[in-house]
């Protein structure tokens, strides 16, 4: 059976020998935090630590005290290619990811056509090899056409290298279909990633149901849509023993359900995206379509509960939930606007707000974006250790700057964080020992 690594861009020319000196070495997996040197050769880490010296003949990169950590692993990225290249291509997403310190990402199957067969996986692999930037993995769709009815050929997809199974932005609404998917995925050692939103309760909704939606005259999406779906799915996990991952949690009750499921020993994980812990329904303001998401932004109480879930480990991962939309899809009346925001280049600085505000330690925060998502997806990434891939991000922890969406490498600019002041900037991104981005 081919390894999942089949689906990422392999380097054609690797840096033969490079030493990153005077770096604050941060490894969330081992809780390692010290100033020293990291040496990479042939795309692998060969040594790192306080007592390591740069080898003779090595290319020297003086980090001048900046943070050096494993490259970020983003487990939820939508790309328009194939089918909607005006929104995003694999090349533009790769450039955007590299600029954001992301060295590997998992691509959702919601393309045109949907990635529900081997041809789709092979297309992604070919485009990733051509881009020669970051590592790209692809999910296979759970159902044919991601339509929620007939199961896709999950066994063939797993054999071809699918990193997991999801219908991406579509919820798997039918209980029997989800039960079968969990059972089959378990046989192949793969995870099912669910968009936890009961479709009939969310249909036609534009934002969180409540006082603000009433005031704005917009149809609401009840928080029960997330809660009911999670409660059903967790019962099915208990029934089948299949691995289950809840994407982009948005409610306090959702966090509590996952916490209880973990306490009961169920094989359950979850993630959240930065908008859900950095914004709330209030940020929709006067019909800001760039703040329209699926699931929608919730209340400030939900936002605080999500932060608490990140801090205590209930929430395993922070994913960008990158969903590019072109201007024609966003610069329209709120009810007609497509949901989703771009997030590859703002993942790290928005997440670092949690550290700067004292909500979580730096290593624990980085773990949510490196080692933890890699572990969920079964990837040998997200760690600083000898013989591991030299996938690295070097960043200035305290550098102040203002987000400018117009400068994004992404083809789409639909960011709710445009003009937001932040602290923490990516300086360099390294993949397999190659410098793929430098600010």
- Cβ atoms of 144 and 116 within 8 Å: the answer is yes
Distance of alpha carbon 93 from alpha carbon 344, whole angstroms: 8
Residues near 104 by beta carbon (within 8 Å), at least 6 away in sequence: 8, 71, 72, 73, 74, 134, 135, 136, 137, 374, 379, 381, 391
Distance of alpha carbon 34 from alpha carbon 24, whole angstroms: 6
Catalytic residue among 321, 391, 396, 432: 321
- Cβ atoms of 111 and 119 within 8 Å: the answer is no
| Pairing mode, strands 18-27 and 244-246 | unpaired
- Cβ atoms of 166 and 108 within 8 Å: the answer is yes
27 is catalytic: no
Residues near 279 by beta carbon (within 8 Å), at least 6 away in sequence: 291, 297, 303, 416
| Dihedrals phi, psi of 315, to nearest 5 degrees | -90, 115
Residues annotated as catalytic are 321
């Amino acid at each position: 059976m081919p390894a999942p690594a089949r689906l990422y861009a392999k380097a054609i020319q690797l840096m033969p020998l490079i030493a990153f000196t005077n770096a604050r070495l941060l490894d969330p997996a081992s809780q390692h935090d010290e100033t020293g040197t990291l040496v990479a050769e042939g795309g692998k880490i060969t040594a790192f630590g306080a007592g390591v010296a740069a080898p003779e003949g090595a290319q020297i990169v003086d980090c001048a005290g900046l943070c050096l950590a494993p490259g970020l692993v983003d487990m939820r990225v939508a790309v328009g290619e194939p089918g909607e290249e005006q929104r995003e291509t694999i090349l533009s997403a790769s450039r955007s990811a590299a600029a954001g310190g992301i060295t590997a990402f998992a691509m959702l199957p919601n393309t045109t056509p949907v990635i529900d067969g081997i041809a789709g996986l092979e297309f992604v692999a070919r485009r990733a090899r051509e881009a020669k930037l970051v590592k790209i993995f692809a999910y296979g769709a759970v159902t044919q056409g991601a339509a929620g009815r007939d199961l896709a050929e999950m066994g063939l997809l797993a054999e071809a290298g699918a990193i997991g199974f999801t219908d991406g932005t579509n919820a798997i609404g039918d209980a029997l279909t989800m039960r079968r998917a969990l059972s089959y995925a378990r046989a192949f050692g793969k995870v099912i990633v669910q968009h936890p939103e009961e479709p009939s309760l969310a249909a036609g909704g534009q934002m969180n149901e409540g006082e603000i939606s009433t005031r704005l005259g917009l149809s609401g999406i009840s928080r029960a849509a997330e809660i009911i779906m999670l409660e059903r799915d967790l019962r099915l996990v208990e029934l089948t023993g299949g691995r289950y991952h809840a994407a982009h949690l948005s409610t306090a009750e959702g966090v509590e359900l996952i916490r209880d499921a973990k306490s009961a020993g169920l094989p359950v994980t979850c993630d959240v995206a930065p908008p859900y812990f950095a914004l709330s329904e209030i940020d929709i303001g006067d019909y800001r379509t760039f703040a329209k998401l699926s699931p929608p932004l919730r209340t400030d109480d939900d936002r605080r509960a999500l932060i608490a879930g990140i801090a205590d480990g209930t929430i395993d991962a922070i994913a960008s939930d990158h969903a590019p939309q072109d201007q024609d899809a966003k610069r329209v009346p709120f009810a007609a606007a497509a949901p989703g925001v771009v997030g590859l280049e703002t993942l790290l600085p928005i997440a670092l707000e949690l550290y700067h505000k004292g909500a979580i330690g730096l290593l624990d925060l980085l773990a949510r974006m490196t080692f933890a998502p890699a572990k969920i997806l079964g990837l040998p990434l997200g760690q600083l250790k000898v013989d591991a891939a030299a996938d690295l991000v070097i960043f200035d922890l305290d550098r102040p700057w203002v987000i400018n969406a117009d400068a994004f490498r992404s083809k789409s600019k639909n960011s709710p964080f445009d003009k937001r002041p932040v602290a923490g900037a990516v300086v360099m991104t390294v993949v397999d020992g190659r410098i793929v981005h430098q600010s």
